[in-house]
């Protein structure tokens, strides 16, 4: 049985969407991957563009409210922003909670090029963290038996 992972942030527009895309791309055969927000605002075009640059299409994703998932079991719930960590709901069952803090590229007000670069940097930071998540002490992380 596949392990279930939920990435959670505030707007479910950038960081959690990119994390969902990365994990599906790298290990979708091992995990059921979802993302949601505490206050979803819609998928940010900058997220789509940044992920497309590395060959991952998240254009079909949609912003979802965390309430869609609170009654579902998850093996891992990972908050990717500080505000979501503070307001993360309680999960029943054997859920491993983690927090990965990333800058919010969706909130950038810089020039277009600086904003694109911020999306790229956060995308790459998420990639590195996902790679770490997939290995523990050099051993691949495998789904738990239920």
Task: Give the residue numbers annotated as catalytic, written as ranges.
Answer: 9, 81, 88
Secondary structure letter of residue 29 according to DSSP: T
Contact status, residue 14 vs residue 122, Cβ threshold 8 Å: yes
Q: How far apart are the first and last CA of the chain?
A: 8
> What is the signed CA dihedral for 19, 24, 28, 32, rounded to 10 degrees?
60
For strand 139-140 and strand 135-136, is the pairing parallel, antiparallel, or unpaired? Answer: antiparallel
Enumerate the H helices of 10-81 as residue ranges. 15-27, 45-52
The C-alpha atoms of residue 64 and residue 33 are separated, in whole angstroms, by: 13
Contact status, residue 54 vs residue 123, Cβ threshold 8 Å: yes
């Amino acid at each position: 049985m596949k392990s279930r992972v939920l990435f959670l942030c505030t707007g479910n527009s950038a960081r959690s969407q990119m994390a969902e895309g990365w994990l599906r791309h790298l290990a979708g055969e091992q995990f059921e991957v979802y993302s949601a927000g505490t206050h979803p605002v819609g998928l940010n075009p900058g997220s789509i563009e940044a992920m497309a640059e590395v060959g991952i299409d998240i254009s079909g994703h949609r912003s979802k409210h965390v309430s869609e998932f609170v009654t579902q079991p998850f093996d891992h719930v990972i908050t990717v922003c500080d505000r979501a960590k503070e307001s993360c709901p309680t999960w029943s069952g054997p859920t491993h909670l983690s927090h990965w803090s990333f800058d919010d590229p969706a909130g950038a007000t810089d020039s277009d090029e600086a904003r694109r670069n911020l999306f790229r940097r956060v995308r790459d930071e998420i990639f590195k963290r996902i790679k770490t998540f997939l290995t523990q002490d050099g051993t691949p992380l495998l789904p738990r038996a239920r």
